[in-house]
């Protein structure tokens, strides 16, 4: 396999470096899991992986779920179940879009979003998901950063959550297996801002984001899926 350019986070910035791919076990399926952001993206990933000769597992998405309301949907239990069922070497994860809300800590106390205690508890949950995936046999976890959002409050939230993703992925025991994928540059006309559409090389406008200002369209999902597969699987 040829070397390829990877986008990695170092010292708070995004840098392009040449690196040999983290090669997952040959023949092992690729699992895609997440909240509603993974619904269309998972379908697009299935198609792009199959076209690249990579075996995809059926994507799993749980709408309106996340790591804040574990009482509503237990992602820890679901990760354990899916890893045992599919035995993937690579897992692509999209979580966090629904979590701008209060959570309950380990004592059952309600912690409002925006407090330091919220960041601490949520960070622990991110780290536990990463660890459970690795413990379950994943040799590579591709964790998707949230893209730019339309509403200012949601944009600020996305940036804060992405900071937690970066922090947890950089933990010594995870940094060699968890890679962060930034989809934002694929979905905007101006870095750091929300764009409903981007321009294709032929000048056509491609609608890549849903009008809700959060989700991806089919076109946006395909664009992101193609880039993920190109980055990690194309020779």
216 in a structural domain: no
Instruction: Provide mean pLDDT across the span 82-86.
Output: 97
Domain count, the chain: 1
214 in a structural domain: no
For 28, the domain range is 22-185+221-232
Helix (H) or strand (E) holding 150: none
135 in a structural domain: yes
129 in a structural domain: yes
Q: Determine the Cα–Cα distance for residues 131 and 155; give it in Å rounded to an integer.
A: 27
- Model-level pTM? 0.88
Instruction: Provide mean pLDDT across the span 80-90.
Output: 97
Whether 23 shows a pLDDT value over 80: the answer reads no
Q: Reading across the β-sheet that carries 90-94, which strands appear in turn?
A: 60-61, 30-34, 90-94, 140-145, 178-182
Instruction: Give the pairing type, strands 60-61 and 103-104.
Output: unpaired
Q: Tokens standing for 36? A: 């509603």
Q: What is the DSSP letter of 115?
A: S
Give the phi and the psi of residue 210 in degrees, each rounded to 5.
Answer: -70, 155
- What is the domain-level CATH number for residue 82? 3.40.50.1110
Say what the pLDDT of residue 8 is. 40
Instruction: Pick 8 or 225 by higher pLDDT.
Output: 225
Instruction: Provide mean pLDDT across the span 149-172.
Output: 98
Q: Strand, coil or helix: what is 163? A: helix
């Amino acid at each position: 396999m040829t070397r390829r350019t990877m986008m990695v986070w170092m010292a708070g910035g995004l840098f392009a470096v040449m690196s040999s791919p983290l090669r997952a076990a040959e023949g092992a399926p690729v699992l895609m899991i997440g909240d509603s952001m993974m619904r269309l993206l998972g379908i697009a990933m299935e198609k792009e992986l199959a076209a690249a000769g990579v075996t995809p597992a059926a994507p799993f998405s749980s709408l309106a779920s996340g790591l804040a309301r574990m009482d509503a949907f237990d992602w820890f239990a679901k990760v354990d179940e899916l890893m045992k069922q599919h035995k993937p070497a690579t897992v692509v994860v999209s979580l966090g879009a629904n979590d701008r809300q209060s959570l309950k800590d380990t004592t059952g106390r309600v912690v409002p979003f925006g407090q330091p205690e919220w960041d601490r508890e949520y960070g622990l949950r991110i780290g536990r998901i990463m660890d459970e995936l690795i413990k379950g046999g994943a040799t590579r976890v591709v964790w998707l950063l949230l893209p730019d959002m339309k509403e200012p409050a949601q944009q600020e939230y996305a940036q804060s959550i992405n900071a937690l993703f970066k922090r947890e992925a950089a933990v010594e025991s995870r940094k060699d297996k968890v890679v962060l994928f930034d989809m934002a540059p694929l979905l905007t006309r101006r870095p750091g801002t929300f764009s409903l559409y981007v321009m294709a090389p032929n000048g056509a406008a491609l609608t890549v984001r849903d009008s809700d200002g959060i989700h991806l369209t089919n076109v946006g999902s395909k664009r992101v899926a193609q880039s993920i597969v190109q980055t990690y699987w194309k020779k």
